[in-house]
Amino acid sequence: MKTAVYPGTFDPITLGHMDIIRRAAHLVDRLVVGVTTNPSKSPMFTVGERLDMVKRETAGVADGKIGVVSFDSLLMDFAVREGASMIVRGLRAVADFEYEYQMAGMNQQLNPDIETVFLMADVSLQPIASKLVKEIALYGGEIGRFVTPAVAVQVRDRVNQIGRKGS
């Protein structure tokens, strides 16, 4: 059975993430979406909230081939724990590639048995980034074109809790 992991912070999960998840699920027998922390990012949602959000959004996608778990370890250790032979990463722009290329090289040094596979985001979804979705929402902008309706409600509710910027 071919298993891949698709790691990310998913804060929040976007339509771009969902595109990569759907497409990656067709390449493997089992896709594990790994929800993690990133010390360089300031999350809007807790790991638990993001885990629930990703589980809800991926429910029913790809006939149950998708699992969603949280992890707080090296990606390669997580991949081994899940029995993965592949890491899936989404690319939007050249800047993404430079970072991901370096990470893939480091990961290969840590475990040469696990391949990194890059999937280009759908052209219509390439500009979408969680960071930008949060920024737009914090300034009162409409985010419905970038996330599902349920995620949009969740983000708007969180913005109402923490307060909008520029008001």
* Token pair 């300034």 in the structure block, residue: 139
Element (H, E) at 158: helix 149-162
CB 164 within 8 A of CB 138: yes
In sign, the C-alpha dihedral spanning 138, 144, 147, 152 is: positive
Residues catalogued as catalytic: 17, 41, 92, 130
Burial of 95: CB neighbours in 10 Å, binned 0-12, 13-18, 19+: exposed
- Structure tokens given for 100: 């991901």
- Burial code of 24-52, b = ≥16 C-beta within 10 A, e = fewer? bbeebebbbbbbbeeeeeebbbebebbbe
Ramachandran angles phi, psi of 78, nearest 5°: -60, -45
